[in-house]
Structure 1
């Protein structure tokens, strides 16, 4: 089941075209986003030069854009290119299991995200929550877990992308590795999280159009002959396409041992990539109160159709035509090394669509890569600026200083991740081994992180020790299983399916046991009100002279049109007495001035970690009771949706099909038709709906631009 890199196949696109596309797309996206940032700043009062806007988009992102951004961040190369490659290897069960391994993590993040809004309304990163509850040591442990998870995930995508570009064009992988993140760093460093939301939307729109185009064009090609024709060709070539450990060796069965094992490993690895990635937490912090659960769950349902539909059609079509004259490798063999390098999809597109199809494939590849890299940049820059610089180097850093550090962190992360990708490449990295090791490394932090928000009895020692013990347990099980099953420990034996699966299971579940046992040994109880001491990023600059500047007429007009938002505040309110009911809104400068002194006391306490001296009875939640009731309502919905999606995608749907059964022609046609319809649903959910959801802001920005153009022409 290895994914092999550095494989030189049959070039299907000229090097010059590949260079032009990679550079041109990067420059084009950078230009579009820079224009969008200027429009936002001028007409929507969204200034990315503040850290709240840069890191969490002023907590004002709506449902549609949230769904689009989460969808885009989770649509990696794996869901497109490698779902087709693994369908070619193991049959149609793989794309389905791949789809089920993508959606439940996003549903889980919806529940955790809305719980974070209730418990920690002004958090910027998940690590900030860890520091507040467990102190410096716990903070450092989870910083290491988060950064390693992020580095492994991002570097593996850049590495895979650069090698895939090398395989289809012959472009040197070093050039591809450098060019992939180059354009992304420009708009991310300038625009921050909101810029990534906008680029995520563009990525999503373009990618889904191309995915639907590839799926339908492939099926309707005369060499395939529609769903019926594809089924007939697969059955006619069944004797030469036998798959070991599939029922009767068939490609058209859900009873595939390799597919289900791969699906289970993928679930653990993807769970770590979501929960232990601060990017997904930041997107939840950035959403409006009413947007977190709907936005994340729309993305969770929409993402299902991508690997299922595209992987099934492209993977099976490649099986049907790989021994025909139209296939690029004919009359040579389409070797396992070429399949493992991910060349199933580009070769199939070249055979059926030609040069224009390959150019479109290259664009799709660029969309998937840059979306991942952009999200990773913001996440790591937030860790460096907020969790390292502000916490341990300069606790009194102004908002302006934080922004400078964030920009430098984006550039540093780009250089660092490029270097890591090149090192892995020259070191002969095996992507399957990295993919199997990552769950063992990252999964131990998932349950302790969830309990940080959900269980007041988890102690500091438990939170620090359980991830470390969990990692050691998973590592031991992984290596011991490889030794017992294959007699030796090596790259080959540790990347086998069963050792990796058992190691991932031990790494994920054992920290729950460790945490409970250690917590009960010396019990403590955490007061959730301490989380309210986390302040807004720009609270320290409240006493700067520019904060008292009178708003301009344009700003007043924008505020009048947008109105106040309950999700925006200027700090935590500490009342003089427990009965005093005071609230502070971002637009209410007078009340903000009245409590500013007390805010600075709160900031000082939260930064030092000495919260015991504060009377928590005098700390009030910044949200109104009505808003909190609404959040609790969404929290219940989120958990109900999570349970339903797990039961449906893990049990009710796939399990009855795991039997001695080969799809009939009618069942296969219905199965694939539903998968294709799901792609159209995804398009409407994360491309069309965000336009409707953001229609007021779009109209407002358009009017502003139109008036500005009119004034220019009048002056001329």
Structure 2
């Protein structure tokens, strides 16, 4: 595929858009500090004060959820992979390609909502899943899950950088090496200064642009495009294309059928592999920690439902439009390697809208890549800070801890680029990395779930299950490739669907079997009350540091951030404000972790109900979307009629609009008091020549 855009466009996006966005994020962070009286501590940097409301967490879930999925033979959630892989699957297999990607990937987040709720109940102060494993199963469990966590972040980061670099290079002819170094640059700048809160705000702003671009593609394709122009026209083109170039493995060779062997194999691999790439990614747990307790279930459930139509609607639009136009003068020719690399999305955008479409695709994919990259930077920062530095130096001050967090983000930003260079040099692309990731990460999923939720989970069974399943999964993967390819084992044969399916199934299934059966035979009897304060010391250190910075707050060194009897343990500061227990204004957004730790009876009861709801919702999703829709339509070799196809496309488009409305408006409505405060501060600064900040400073004791 020849680059449709000049090289200058690529550098403009990489430098001007990237650095411009960084400057905007730094300005937002400065405004929060100036007008929101915000003081950054290690807890605030890594957990956003544990007070982020539902809408912003949901947009963060949409962004992280769009973090790395399978290109060609890959799966995982990164915006770039979500957009590229889903479109490639629809381009290759037809309607089941987009459906299998979106349906198979939303399930893990719905189930993760249940796990997140349990974590808020049983591990309210924890910072990471590694910290939880160490508290329950000792040093060996700590280091084992730290290994899996770093494996996830390293491979995901490499996929992000490679996928983004290859796409930008294919559209603009900017050298891949230049893209690999420039993409992490702007992200590392604002994340290293603003922390998780800056990352979440960046996710939100990126998501707004992405929704807008995707909606633009859909409406133009279905209403105005001279090459498609309507859903009816797209249906006719796909029918004609199926007759001329039938799809191997599809019923009657049709793009309009749910009977697609390649897509259904991908569906199973996608489900298995995404458990590993969600449950082993600290980026998701960062959002759990940052969320307000009562918003946790809604945040992840709504986030998954808002993410679902993104790959579904975009792949149905660009993927099927590209398939309808391929092998013609209207669509650039794509080799199998280019399809595997995820280029159908940008090629279809160019075919449908010319240079405008190519530029829109360039911006969309760049923002997608940087959004997911920021989440990975914060994930690694949390692991290094609380699972390496704090255990090695438990008496470190909060300022020392904060310095390590800043340095971790900057250092891993460089590491992301180095990883991209290494994998690009040895010829391993984004798709192959994801193939590998499911096999490597799935062995730890069941043990981690048991660790967080089940008191009888056996340490020996769960840790043993992870250790045994990893090598056996790799063996199954390699042996299957060997048997199916006459003894040839190389990058091509090990990247095929069936070897990947075998490896994922063994890694995931055997781990579940050993962990659950072993725990039933040799159960532990863990009391979660004994580990409920895991991570609490670090929270209290940040509170103490905050109090030193904010002299107007009186501190009482009580045991819990939230007292059971507020009337007995309240006090008054010099201005007459009520303070509960350890610090004043317990529910103030500026206080890191305070008031979001120990749960009141009302909150605990609410979370228990929320947990049951999220689990029931996930089960219903599996029954309806997987068994009733997918398997029944696959089993009957259903081929869409014109009316059925129009309904299929319309549902995806309507769902996309609803998701966009919620994700765009919800954070704004929830933040109106803060936005009003900032706006008033700016106005006061402008018209009183900076007296806003001086008047606040004079109020301090």
With over 3 angstroms needed to count, the CA separation of the structure-2 counterparts of 1:356 and 1:541, relative to structure 1, is closer
With over 3 angstroms needed to count, the CA separation of the structure-2 counterparts of 1:454 and 1:313, relative to structure 1, is same
Residue of 296, 310, 315 corresponding to 2:314: 310
- CA distance in structure 1 between the aligned counterparts of 2:583 and 2:50, rounded to whole angstroms: 22
Residue of 65, 72, 94 corresponding to 2:63: 72
Q: Does 1:136 align with 2:112?
A: no
Partner of 2:98: 95
Q: Does 1:216 align with 2:219?
A: yes
Q: Does 1:34 align with 2:26?
A: yes
**Count of matched residue positions in the alignment of Structure 1 and Structure 2:** 658
Instruction: Output aligned runs, 1:102-501, within 5 Å.
Output: 102-220=105-223, 221-327=225-331, 329=332, 333-392=333-392, 394-488=393-487, 489-501=489-501
Does structure 2 retain, via aligned residues, the 8 Å contact 1:536–1:571? no
Does structure 2 retain, via aligned residues, the 8 Å contact 1:457–1:526? yes
Does structure 2 retain, via aligned residues, the 8 Å contact 1:539–1:571? no
- CA distance in structure 1 between the aligned counterparts of 2:494 and 2:15, rounded to whole angstroms: 38
Gaps of 5+ in 1: 1-8, 557-568, 595-620
Does structure 1 retain, via aligned residues, the 8 Å contact 2:159–2:429? no
Deviations 1:124-148 (A, max 9, x none): 1111111111111110000000110
Residue of 623, 626, 637 corresponding to 1:650: 626
With over 3 angstroms needed to count, the CA separation of the structure-2 counterparts of 1:647 and 1:701, relative to structure 1, is farther
Partner of 1:12: 4
- CA distance in structure 2 between the aligned counterparts of 1:570 and 1:373, rounded to whole angstroms: 39
Q: CA deviation at 1:83?
A: 1.6
Q: CA deviation at 1:665?
A: 1.1
Q: CA deviation at 1:357?
A: 2.1
Partner of 2:514: 514
38-47 or 22-31, which deviates more: 38-47
Q: CA deviation at 1:499?
A: 2.1
With over 3 angstroms needed to count, the CA separation of the structure-2 counterparts of 1:376 and 1:290, relative to structure 1, is same
Partner of 1:598: none
Partner of 1:53: 44
Does structure 2 retain, via aligned residues, the 8 Å contact 1:164–1:343? yes
Partner of 1:627: 603
With over 3 angstroms needed to count, the CA separation of the structure-2 counterparts of 1:354 and 1:543, relative to structure 1, is closer
50-59 or 525-534, which deviates more: 525-534
Q: CA deviation at 1:635?
A: 1.5
SS of aligned partner of 2:174: coil
Deviations 1:105-137 (A, max 9, x none): 111121111111110111111111111111111
Q: CA deviation at 1:195?
A: 0.5
With over 3 angstroms needed to count, the CA separation of the structure-2 counterparts of 1:247 and 1:404, relative to structure 1, is same
Gaps of 5+ in 2: 67-78, 585-596, 693-701
Deviations 1:372-419 (A, max 9, x none): 100000000110111001112x11111111110001111111111211
Does structure 1 retain, via aligned residues, the 8 Å contact 2:125–2:539? no
- CA distance in structure 1 between the aligned counterparts of 2:460 and 2:568, rounded to whole angstroms: 36
399-408 or 433-442, which deviates more: 433-442
TM-score normalised by length of structure 2: 0.89
Q: CA deviation at 1:336?
A: 2.5
Does structure 2 retain, via aligned residues, the 8 Å contact 1:218–1:349? no
SS of aligned partner of 2:581: helix
Q: Does 1:661 align with 2:638?
A: yes
Partner of 2:698: none
With over 3 angstroms needed to count, the CA separation of the structure-2 counterparts of 1:380 and 1:683, relative to structure 1, is same
SS of aligned partner of 2:17: helix
Q: Does 1:696 align with 2:695?
A: no
Partner of 2:614: 638
- CA distance in structure 1 between the aligned counterparts of 2:52 and 2:28, rounded to whole angstroms: 15
Q: CA deviation at 1:430?
A: 4.1
With over 3 angstroms needed to count, the CA separation of the structure-2 counterparts of 1:711 and 1:686, relative to structure 1, is same
Does structure 1 retain, via aligned residues, the 8 Å contact 2:131–2:387? yes
- CA distance in structure 1 between the aligned counterparts of 2:162 and 2:198, rounded to whole angstroms: 24
Q: Does 1:23 align with 2:24?
A: no
SS of aligned partner of 1:482: helix
199-208 or 510-519, which deviates more: 510-519
- CA distance in structure 1 between the aligned counterparts of 2:427 and 2:35, rounded to whole angstroms: 50
Q: CA deviation at 1:582?
A: 8.1
160-169 or 652-661, which deviates more: 652-661
Does structure 2 retain, via aligned residues, the 8 Å contact 1:573–1:584? no
Deviations 1:174-201 (A, max 9, x none): 1000111100001100000010110010
Deviations 1:207-266 (A, max 9, x none): 000000011112221221300111112222323221100001111101001001112111
Does structure 2 retain, via aligned residues, the 8 Å contact 1:66–1:287? yes
Q: CA deviation at 1:164?
A: 1.4
462-471 or 621-630, which deviates more: 621-630
With over 3 angstroms needed to count, the CA separation of the structure-2 counterparts of 1:548 and 1:73, relative to structure 1, is closer
Does structure 2 retain, via aligned residues, the 8 Å contact 1:583–1:622? no
Partner of 2:581: 591
- CA distance in structure 2 between the aligned counterparts of 1:105 and 1:542, rounded to whole angstroms: 34
Partner of 2:687: 710
- CA distance in structure 1 between the aligned counterparts of 2:260 and 2:514, rounded to whole angstroms: 35
Does structure 1 retain, via aligned residues, the 8 Å contact 2:50–2:292? yes
Does structure 1 retain, via aligned residues, the 8 Å contact 2:115–2:449? yes
Does structure 1 retain, via aligned residues, the 8 Å contact 2:341–2:429? no
Does structure 1 retain, via aligned residues, the 8 Å contact 2:473–2:506? yes
- CA distance in structure 2 between the aligned counterparts of 1:651 and 1:583, rounded to whole angstroms: 54
Does structure 1 retain, via aligned residues, the 8 Å contact 2:294–2:603? no
SS of aligned partner of 2:689: helix
TM-score normalised by length of structure 1: 0.87
With over 3 angstroms needed to count, the CA separation of the structure-2 counterparts of 1:84 and 1:545, relative to structure 1, is closer
Q: CA deviation at 1:512?
A: 2.4
With over 3 angstroms needed to count, the CA separation of the structure-2 counterparts of 1:515 and 1:238, relative to structure 1, is closer
Partner of 1:531: 531
- CA distance in structure 1 between the aligned counterparts of 2:320 and 2:374, rounded to whole angstroms: 32
